[in-house]
Amino acid sequence: MKRYIKIYWIIIKLNFSLLFAYRANFYNSFIISVGWGIVSVSSIFFVTAKVSHIYTWSRGDLYLLAGVYSVIVGLFHMFFSASLERFGRTISLGMLDSYLLTPIDTQIYLSTKTFRPISLLRLIIGIVFTAVVITQQHIEIHFANVFLSFVFIFFGITFLYSMWFLVITLMIWNPNLTNLIDFLYISNNFSRYPTSIVTYTKNVLLYLVLPLMLVTTVPAEFILGKVTILQVIGLLFFSLGLFMASRYFWKFALTKYTSASS
Amino acid sequence: MRYVRIFLLTFQSVFEERGRSLVWFLLSCINPFIMMLFWRGANISSTTLSMITSYYFFLIIGGSIIMSHSEENIALIDIQEGRLANYLLKPFPYYSLKWLEELPYRALQGSFGLIVVALFSFLFQVKLSVGSQSVVNFLLIFLMLISAVTLAQLFKVCLGFISFWTTDAYGIFQLSEMFMFILGGYIAPLSFYPSVVASIAYFLPFPYMIYFPIASIAGFYTTQQLVFIFLGQLVWISIFVFLYKSLWKNGLKQFTGVGQ
């Protein structure tokens, strides 16, 4: 464990140096990160400008949901998405061999080899926005609440990571399906909205996206004091279940992997 | 005839990768689909809800037919990798060739859109509403759709030309995506936005590419309003034609093609 932390710390430092090494690239990344952070928060302002409620969610509740979403997505993009989006290229260029030969766990290495420091901005936008909404809504918050909210956010990120890893593992069979990454980026949007938009439809097919919505709904409803024990169990069950599934699927996929370089 | 031949050849290569095209199309469906579910929970009248649902269905079809994505190819392949030299030697205008390359994508993705919308409206018993439209309105909407395709293609080509001056225009492309997402009507009909934001949007080119044509099909506007919107599109097309010519003329002076 100590060795992994040491390696990850080196990765973080290297990625920070890389970010500032190319100035134009830094400005580019800055615009993208801040821009999408603002878009994800402001879009909820626009859609709720002329309606006060969406199912049982008031306008203020939806703002809080948007803030929590920005925090979760900011953290996820910072730690995982940059590494996972290069997976197709890693396989098609036969670079997976070199990862398999390293003396650390391949899944961990592949999932964490790139750290995206610029997503810190999006995270900060999310945290500030959430704090403003909490203050304006006069929601009482204690240390225990904050701690438990972060526990739920942790499980939410575990769910997103496992879903991404499970899907990109498919590229072992077909490395050309690189637009699966775009599919995953857009699928994250489901977690921007409350679970009610699916549960009220009573449509069985739509329940498939329900776990993805729990990722943000559970921490947000917990802050609002509306979360049910069933929702919490649902989030824990899907996060841990999908994490184990992604682990087993990855090990199975490796047995089918044929090297391209050697 | 030569143009038809070029179109058919491009169509062949696009159809070869129809699986990828299908995934791209499905991606564009996710957002309208979520928003449709979202609005079902809003405290609005059933007539408004029916209009919004129709709007998102038309957005799925219209978005795939209208919205070009040629800017990345222009920036990365043509300008940065130097394939532009190849185009310059051909006896066809660059813009026409780019349009012929883009049209097969729009045709294929538009047909996916029609199939998906037909399937969904059948499965979920959704009745698409076009309001009470006259023949004149339909004619105007048809003209608006053609103008929207032209405007979107001109806008994306001009965006791609920024690469003549920059080494990496990815940030600018993303910025334009953000504006398009918010002000183009992808999140919700602009009439649901705060009036200040909607008023700003009406003075920009983004809603003239997607929002106005789609909202017109969904029956949001009267004949007189349609005429004004169409005129607005023509104004934006003129501006972008001028911009295109200027960027092309000056950009070519920046371009260096290396190779044999």
Please give the interface size between A and B, counted as residue pairs whose CB atoms are below 8 Å apart: 98
* Binary contact (B41, A52; C-beta < 8 A): no
Terminal Cα distance for chain B, rounded:
30
Collect all residues of chain B within an 8 Å Cβ-Cβ radius of residue A54.
Answer: 38, 41-42
pLDDT digits (tens, 9 = 90+) for A199-245: 887 777 778 888 889 999 999 999 998 889 999 999 999 999 999 99
B38: chain A residues, CB-CB within 8 Å: 47, 54, 193, 197
In this prediction, residue B260 carries a pLDDT of 56
Side-chain half-sphere CA neighbours of A258 within 13 A: 2
For chain B, list residues with pLDDT below 50.
none
Query: Using the beta-carbon criterion (under 8 Å), do A197 and B197 form an inter-chain contact?
Result: no
B91 touches chain A (CB under 8 A): no
Residue A181 has which token pair?
A: 């990454």
Interchain contact, B182 vs A179, CB within 8 Å:
no
Radius of gyration of chain A (CA): 19
The pLDDT tens digits for B107-158 are 888 888 888 888 877 777 777 777 777 889 999 999 999 999 999 999 999 9
Q: Which two tokens stand for residue A161?
A: 């990571």
- For an interface test with B, give the residue of A179, A206, A209, A210 to mutate (most B CBs within 10 A): A179
Q: Which residue among A24, A197, A198 places its CB closest to the CB of B168? A: A24
CA distance A170 to A183: 13
Asked if B68 and B154 touch (Cβ cutoff 8 Å), the reply is no
| Nearest CB to A46 within list B26, B37, B194 | B194
CB contact B27 to A (< 8 Å): yes
pLDDT digits (tens, 9 = 90+) for A22-73: 777 788 788 888 888 888 888 888 888 888 888 888 888 999 999 999 999 9
How does DSSP classify residue B126? P
Backbone angles phi, psi at A141, to 5 degrees: -130, 135
* Nearest-by-Cβ selection for A200 from B23, B41, B166: B41
Mutate which: A23, A39, A125, A203, vs B, most B CBs within 10 A: A39
For residue A168, give Cα distances in angstroms to A9, A59, A134, B185. Answer: 25, 36, 36, 31
How near does any CA of chain A get to the CA of B178, in Å? 7
Two tokens, residue B118? 């037909």
Burial level of B170, CB count in 10 A (0-12/13-18/19+)? middle
- The residue of chain B with its CA nearest to that of A183 is B27
Q: Do residue B174 and residue A189 have CB atoms under 8 angstroms apart?
A: no
B23 with A180: Cβ contact below 8 A: yes
Q: Distance between CA A127 and CA A234 in Å, rounded?
A: 25
- What percentage of chain A exceeds 90 in pLDDT? 34
Contact check, Cβ <8 Å, B35/A45: no
A110 within 8 A of A79, measured Cβ to Cβ: no
Tell me whether residues B23 and A24 touch, CB distance under 8 A: no
- Helix or strand (DSSP H, E) at B55: helix B46-66
Asked if A58 is an interface residue toward chain B (Cβ–Cβ < 8 A), one would say: no
Report yes or no: A162 and A242 within 8 Å, Cβ to Cβ: yes
Name the minimum distance, in Å, from the CA of B171 to any CA of chain A: 5
Res A160: pLDDT? 94
Q: What is the pLDDT of residue A163?
A: 94
Which residues fall within 8 angstroms of residue A34, CB to CB, at 6 or more apart? A121, A122, A125
pLDDT digits (tens, 9 = 90+) for A97-121: 888 888 888 888 888 888 888 888 8
- Give me the helix-helix angle, B18-40 and B46-66, nearest 10°: 160
List, as own/partner pairs, every contact residues A142-149 make where C-beta atoms lie below 8 angstroms and the sequence separation is at least 24, other chains included.
A145/A222, A145/A223, A148/A222, A149/A68, A149/A219, A149/A222, A149/A223
- Complex confidence, ipTM: 0.80
Q: Does B23 touch chain A (CB under 8 A)?
A: yes
**Option in A50, A193, A200 nearest B34 (CB):** A193
In the numeric block, which tokens belong to residue A29? Answer: 């990344």
Residue type, A187: S
pLDDT in tens, B49-60: 888 888 998 998
Confidence of residue A185 (pLDDT cuts 50, 70, 90): confident
Among B57, B233, B205, CA closest to B225: B233
Chain B closest CA to A217's CA: distance in Å? 14
What does the block give as tokens for B161?
């030309």
Question: Are the CB atoms for B147 and B205 separated by under 8 Å?
Answer: no
Q: Cite the DSSP H helix spans in A201-228.
A: 210-224
Probe site for chain A from B18, B21, B22, B30 (most A CB atoms < 10 A): B30
Chain A partners within 8 Å of B167 (Cβ): 24
Shortest alpha-carbon distance between residue B29 and chain A (Å): 10
The answer to whether residue A262 scores a pLDDT higher than 60 is no
Contact by Cβ (8 Å): B80, B163: yes
Work out the minimum CA distance from B85 to partner chain A, whole angstroms: 26
pLDDT the model gives residue B32: 86
SS3 assignment, position A176: coil
Give the model's pLDDT for residue B228: 95
Stretch (H or E) spanning B16: helix B2-16
pLDDT tens, position by position, A125-178: 999 999 999 999 888 888 888 899 999 999 999 999 999 999 999 888 887 777
Closest by CA to B52, choosing from B195, B190, B230, B171, is B190
The nearest CA of chain A is from the CA of B66 a distance in Å of: 20
Upper half-sphere CA count for residue A2 (Cβ side, 13 Å): 0
Mark out the alpha helices in chain A (DSSP H runs). 2-21, 23-47, 59-76, 82-84, 87-92, 96-100, 106-112, 119-136, 143-168, 180-187, 196-199, 210-224, 229-256
The structure's pTM equals 0.84
Residue A54 backbone dihedrals phi, psi, to 5 degrees: -125, 110
Nearest by CB to B171, from A31, A50, A182: name it: A31
